[in-house]
Amino acid sequence: MFIICIMVIVFIDQTVKHYIQSSMLPGMSFPVVQDIFSITYIQNAGAAFGILEDQRLFFIIVTMLVLICGAYFYPVLKKQCCMLRFGMALLLGGAAGNLIDRIRLGIVVDYFDFHIWPIFNIADIAIVSGVVIIIYHIFTKGLTE
């Protein structure tokens, strides 16, 4: 189920990004909820909030290391509770989705625009959700359950 979850996240993320790219031009935006939420296509050359802009190779290397560590520790992860496995799957699936963009396009496609927050994508949601689940699990259950 772990691998399937990762694959589903990558598939959904890449499908939505492909749709955004094929139907919008960079900078184009349309409101979903006026003055609150829009779909805005941007090309992000950095990380969250645009930090470390144009450090593509750095992000590729770091993400590859994260994915390699995930694969290396997979046998240990299989023995953990489903909440921790799910958090790791979200994290790895989101990381893989953004890595595909960086390798293929040199940027990450972002599109969810809440006007009070930097624009983000499904992979970003998966990464943040996965990290929150992992941290919650560690603080409430530790790493032994």
Contact 43, 109 (CB under 8 A): yes
Active site residue 35: no
Identify which of 144, 68, 134 has the alpha carbon closest to the alpha carbon of residue 99: 68
Listed in sequence order, the DSSP H helices in the chain are 2-23, 56-72, 74-77, 82-105, 122-141
Active site residue 124: yes
Q: Which of 13, 101, 113, 124 is catalytic?
A: 124
Q: Which of 13, 101, 110, 113 is catalytic?
A: 110
Q: How far is CA 9 from CA 23, 58, 86, in A?
A: 21, 23, 11
Active-site residues, by number, are 110, 124
